Amino acid sequence: MGQKQEAAEYHMFPNIARWLFLIFGFPIVLTWSAYSLLDIMWLRQKRKSLKNKVVMITGASSGLGEALAHVFYKCGCKLILVSRREEELKRVRNDLTNTYQIVPTHLPVILPLDLAKIDDMKSKVLKVLLVHDGIDILINNAGVSYRGEVISTDIDVDMKVMMSNYFSQVCLTKIILPFMIKQNSGHIVGISSVQGRIAIPYRSAYAASKYSVQAWYDSARAEIFNKNIKFTIVNPGYIKTSLSMNALTGSGQVYGIMDETTVNGYEPDYVAERILEAVLKQKKEVTIAPFLVKCAIIIRTLFPSLFFWLMQKRAKKLANNR
């Protein structure tokens, strides 16, 4: 082969790539950009529809709940902030009113409540609902994590995690649903986790509680389809919050360690924005997680044996590192 012919072939490739881009790539990039732009404009417009809506956020004293309080307050919502630590709720309320100049200003209502104590819940929640005469959006976000072995975990810990993450959501939703059904509108958002789709070793109680939440929402959504009530389940991956610090161990002690996975997780503000978007788009389910985690969910569904083998390997590795 002569040198001239080699050079001509060498130059042909960039030309072919350019033509392929012009014929296929360019229209795709153009369509995608136009779609994204329209989506941004639509969302900006849609945010206005949230003005004056009554939004109850549980677990609003820190982490994701606090970030959610910011994004919904910015949209002009009337907030009801729920958690156990009253002082922290007051801090969040002050931050909101000092940071944003919203007209008209709705001072967020705070409701100090231990959601794991369901006997107390009904009377306190009914009282607070009178403040704004109803509720439009409930975000069931409060939760506690867990670190421990199945075999040595006290059953009281399993029950406490289940109470905080599952029964609290079910109980609060059942108190609020009749109001929404009566007004023929409402939106319930459940913060689950990717661990509500894939259970990993040493998280049994947490994963079980999040799987339960997922199942309950799927049933409720189907049953209440004709009452104009929307149900959105959210499955986030790791978020940079105090969740691992506050996690319970098998003996019921507080874990107190900031896990590396948590430190490297998503910013709570980013996840809160994605949740707001899911509410505006009335999505039934949204998974906010990296690509590999989404692949693991697909593997669990399509190739369960492979998933079980991978988790067994992971459990072995973690046990060796202990």
Ligand X SMILES: NC(=O)c1ccc[n+]([C@@H]2O[C@H](COP(=O)([O-])OP(=O)(O)OC[C@H]3O[C@@H](n4cnc5c(N)ncnc54)[C@H](OP(=O)(O)O)[C@@H]3O)[C@@H](O)[C@H]2O)c1
Query: Which residue in 55, 87, 60 sits closest to 241, CA to CA?
Result: 60
Quote the least distance from Cβ 225 to ligand X, whole Å: 25
DSSP state of 21: I
Q: Per CB under 6 A, which of residues 256..315 are in contact with ligand X? A: 262, 265
Q: Are 75 and 49 in contact (CB under 8 A)?
A: no
d(CA 218, CA 221): 5
Pick between residue 77 and residue 89 the one whose CB is nearest to ligand X: 89
Residue 84 binds ligand X, judged by CB under 6 A: yes
Residue 161 binds ligand X, judged by CB under 6 A: no
DSSP string, 83-139: ES-HHHHHHHHHHHHHH---SS--PPEEEE--TT-HHHHHHHHHHHHHHHTS-SEEE
Pick between residue 56 and residue 239 the one whose CB is nearest to ligand X: 239
Among 71, 77, 93, 143, binds ligand X (CB under 6 A): 143
34-63 footprint of ligand X as x/- string (CB under 6 A): ------------------------xx-xxx
DSSP string, 215-263: HHHHHHHHHTGGGTEEEEEEEE--BSSSTTTT-EETTS-B-----HHHH
Among 55, 80, 115, 137, binds ligand X (CB under 6 A): 115
Residue 204 binds ligand X, judged by CB under 6 A: no
Residue 270 annotated in active site: no
Q: Per CB under 6 A, which of residues 168..187 are in contact with ligand X? A: none
Q: Which of 73, 166, 206, 266 is catalytic?
A: 206
Q: How many helices (H) and strands (E) does the chain have?
A: 12, 9
Residue 114 binds ligand X, judged by CB under 6 A: yes
Cis peptide before 112 (omega within 30 of 0): no
Quote the least distance from Cβ 181 to ligand X, whole Å: 25
Quote the least distance from Cβ 55 to ligand X, whole Å: 15
d(CA 210, CA 203): 11
- Interacting residues with ligand X (CB under 6 A): 58-59, 61-65, 83-85, 88, 113-116, 141-144, 164, 191, 193, 236, 238-239, 241-243, 246, 262, 265
Residues involved in catalysis: 206
